[in-house]
Structure 1
Amino acid sequence: MTRSLSSAALLAVLSLAQQAAARAEPAMSPAARKSLPADVVAYVDRRTGCNHWGGEDAYDADRGRQIAAAVEKLGCDTIDSDETRLRRRYGRDPAVLKALEAAEQADG
């Protein structure tokens, strides 16, 4: 019973976080999203989420598991190497470089 309750609580928190993120100011304008390569847009979304979850406080075991699940789902462990790959691929594109810089600074 406790395990299913914890899973339900995790799903509720993640759902609320997604709803809050949808209401928050987007990391990029709709025009920028359309003008940038899809892999860059996906990276910016992930980086913003990783920045958010990385700053969260694991004040108890359940919260720690919620944070760990979100970090794993976003693939935060590879975010730096993914950025390096994108910088190599799009290093001559000022719009991409600007988006990558903004994502790194975003609070999420």
Structure 2
Amino acid sequence: MILTALLALALTPQTLPREVRAYVARRDKCDHFRGEDSPDEARQKEIEAATIRFCTGADRQLARLKRIHAHNRAVQRRLGRYDPRIED
């Protein structure tokens, strides 16, 4: 039970390094817009612009953060949720 509580604490966003928290926020927006589609042409353009804004460079940044924080299990678990290749 104590181990479970410690693991939960280790995975809270506040305990992650600032650059990882920033990436998570950006990547979550990226994934949201990647999954959205609209029949409305104006809205579709907004979605495409947001996808470019939030997703460009995501693969490279994810790999960099995983490399920099290779020994931080909480970071690795959090970043492991993301597909490493979305920009192909």
Shorter-normalised TM-score: what interval? 0.7 to 0.9
Matched, 1:83 2:88: no
Counterpart Cα distance in 2 of 1:90 and 1:45 = 17
1:64 maps to: 44
Tell me: higher relative CO, structure 1 or 2? Use CA pairs within 8 A at least 6 residues apart.
Answer: 1
The C-alpha deviation readout for 1:32-76, integer Å capped at 9, x for no partner, is 2221100100111111111110011131311211102212332x0
Within the candidate set 40, 53, 57, 2:20 is matched to 40
Which of 22, 33, 37 pairs up with 1:53?
A: 33
When normalised by structure 1's length, the TM-score is 0.61
Count of matched residue pairs: 74
Report sequence identity in percent: 35
Distance 1:57 1:71 in 2: 11
When normalised by structure 2's length, the TM-score is 0.73
Structure 2, unpaired ranges of 5+: 1-8, 84-88
**Structure 1: which 4+ aligned runs deviate by more than 4 Å?**
none
Give 5+ residue unaligned stretches, structure 1: 1-28
Partner secondary structure for residue 56 of structure 2: helix
Aligned letter for 1:78?
G
